[in-house]
Amino acid sequence: MPFELTSIFIEDFKNAIEKKNVGFLNEQLHELYPADIAQVLNRLSVPESAYVYELLDEDTAPEVLLELDDDTREDLLAKFSAKKIAEQIDNMDSDDAADVVSELPEEMQDQVLSHMEDIEQASDIAELINYEEGTAGSLMAKELVSVYSFETVNACIDEIRKQTDNVDVMYAVYVVDNNEKFIGVLSLKKLIVSHPLARVEEIYETEAQFVKTNTSSEEVAEVMQKHDLVVLPVVDQLGRLVGRITIDDVVDVIKETADENIQRMSGISDDVDTNDNVWRLSRARIPWLLVGMCGGIIGSRIIGTYETQIKIHPEMAYFIPLIGAMGGNVGVQSSAIIVQALANNTLIGDRIGPKLLKELSVGMVNGLICSILILAYAFLTEDWQLSATVSVALFTVILFASFLGTFVPLTMNKFKINPALATGPFVTTLNDIIGITIYFLVGRILYGTF
């Protein structure tokens, strides 16, 4: 049954900590998974979470540490000595250990690595934290099983037995040549059914996917998603096998990318969450709020230039919010579809033209439906000239917003700007300004008196 974190449970936990009721705490911790324990610690104060963490056994504690929110983990590690941190990461996979160490101050990183008992593990961590963030090198783990192509199946199995001590889950065996260059993958099934004296070079698969250490994390996720992989080998610039990336790390990348795009679409410029301080949250939101405010000022100035028209026909003001809202909504819908296509790499090459045409067609259909409905409504409540003005203007605004919502993210993507920005305040504000302008221009033409 899934663990449900309630306020009552947290209150009981806090009371047990205050009373130093170790029996109750150990009983509860024993029944929870590491991810559930991390959820509890995230809700406690730093002293409380540190007290509970000390009660965890040596196998559970590192897993809980990895599951904690970034801020909680940072606060918790700040209370630990370098030796204590070294003990926590000694039994972690190298990629997870590198993630923890990279969050520490630089001087603390050196101290932690110097206190590690496993020198080889410390060396692997030191190598991994030097890779640029957001690359395959920063995602990979050093633990893997590799064999030489000239070995026999019997020798290969013996070699696997030696190497699997440091590998929790073995998805495949990687094949390298005499120079340690990656040349293919040997499936466990092939290994088991092949003759003991058969050579690896006779049975391994040469057509294997791999990435280089400097490959972007987004490209890594794309490769694994496209080819339905659970693990992906990583090579250096010389083609030598240096690590592997597992699906759990890629899921984290996909989630982080999705969170970032949602924030961009909402007009938030920095990577923030609800635990950040007021100043950081405000700083992340204010740029696009200022853009929206400037757009509003421009819109008001445009309305001001048609002041005479509004004085003669004040009923035109009734439909200004409608025009602005419809243009913004249509623009966001179109841009969201394009951003999704760009993120999935389904919009490439000569498919861009048909996509533009398709979005314009959709805009035309939607524009016709909405303009006919508003024509009927306005005709029943207002005069025919205003009805025609609103109907024609709405159709034009929807058509233009469809084009703009398609064109802007494509242009941003071409200039290496995150196209997710196009689905937020930028397109909405731009469509508000253009929509109001179109509305009054159509009114001027149809009324014919200005």
Amino acid identity, residue 219? E
- Is the per-residue pLDDT at 323 higher than 50? yes
Interatomic CA distance for residues 382 and 360, integer angstroms? 30
**Contact assessment for residue 265 and residue 230, using Cβ atoms and an 8 Å cutoff:** no
Distance, CA of 329 to CA of 431 (rounded, Å): 9
Determine what percent of the chain is predicted with pLDDT higher than 90.
Answer: 39
C-alpha–C-alpha distance, residues 131 and 421, integer Å = 28
Residue 425 has pLDDT above 70, yes or no: yes
Split at pLDDT 50, 70, 90, the class of 267 is low
Query: Contact, 171 vs 156, CB < 8 A?
Result: no
| C-alpha to C-alpha distance for 144 and 128, rounded to whole angstroms | 15
Q: What are the backbone angles phi and psi of residue 31, rounded to the nearest 5°?
A: -90, -10
Task: Give the whole-number percent of the chain exceeding pLDDT 70.
Answer: 92
Average pLDDT over residues 381-397: 86
Q: How many Å is the maximal CA-CA distance in the chain?
A: 97
| Rounded mean pLDDT, 263-274 | 63
Token duo for residue 414: 């071409």
Q: What is the pLDDT of residues 215-233, one digit of tens each?
A: 999 899 989 988 899 999 9
CB 241 within 8 A of CB 174: yes
Question: What's the whole-model pTM score?
Answer: 0.71
| 261 compared with 210, residue with greater pLDDT | 210
pLDDT of 449: 46
Please determine, for residue 184, whether its predicted confidence score (pLDDT) is greater than 90: yes
**Can you tell me the distance from the alpha carbon of 427 to that of 236, in angstroms, rounded to the nearest whole number?**
42
Convert 49-60 to b/e letters by CB count within 10 Å (16 or more is b): bbbbbeebeeeb
**CA 4, 10, 12, 13 torsion-angle sign:** positive
Task: Report how far apart the first and last C-alpha atoms of the chain are (Å, whole number).
Answer: 71
Given a cut of 80, is residue 270 above it in pLDDT? no
pLDDT, one tens digit per residue, over 139-163 is 999 989 899 999 999 998 888 888 7
Q: Can you give the pLDDT at residue 450?
A: 42
Nearest residue to 243 via CA among 102, 327, 322, 131:
131
Nearest to 188 by CA among 153, 155, 217: 153
Residue 24, token pair as written in the block? 């109750």
Q: What is the mean pLDDT of residues 172-199?
A: 91
Examine the pLDDT at 168 and tell me if it is beyond 70: yes
Give the mean model confidence (pLDDT) for residues 311-336. Answer: 86
The DSSP secondary-structure symbol of 134 reads T
What integer pLDDT is reported at residue 126 of this predicted model? 92
Walk me through the domains of the chain, giving residue ranges and CATH numbers: 7-139 (1.25.60.10), 146-247 (3.10.580.10), 278-447 (1.10.357.20)
- pLDDT, one tens digit per residue, over 5-58 is 788 888 989 999 999 999 999 999 998 999 999 999 999 999 999 999 999 988
Give the residue carrying structure tokens 């073995």. Answer: 170
> What are the tens digits of pLDDT across the range 110-123?
999 999 988 888 99
pLDDT level of residue 328 (50, 70, 90 thresholds):
confident
Q: Would you call 321 helix, strand, or coil by DSSP?
A: helix
User: 44-95, pLDDT tens digit by residue?
Assistant: 999 999 999 999 988 899 999 999 988 889 999 999 999 999 999 987 889 9
Higher-confidence residue: 65 or 382? Answer: 65
- For helices 106-115 and 82-89, angle between their N-to-C axes, nearest 10 degrees: 60
Cα distance between residue 190 and residue 157, in whole Å: 12
CA distances to 52, 90, 130, 270 from 273, rounded to whole Å, are: 25, 30, 26, 10
**Distance (Å, whole) CA 292 – CA 256:** 26
Tell me: pLDDT of 242 over 90.
yes
The DSSP result for 277-299, as a single string, is -HHHHHHHHHHHHHHHHHHHHHH
In degrees to the nearest 10, what's the CA dihedral of 255, 261, 265, 271?
90
CB 436 within 8 A of CB 297: no
Which of 22-31, 167-176, 346-355 comes out lowest in average pLDDT? Answer: 346-355
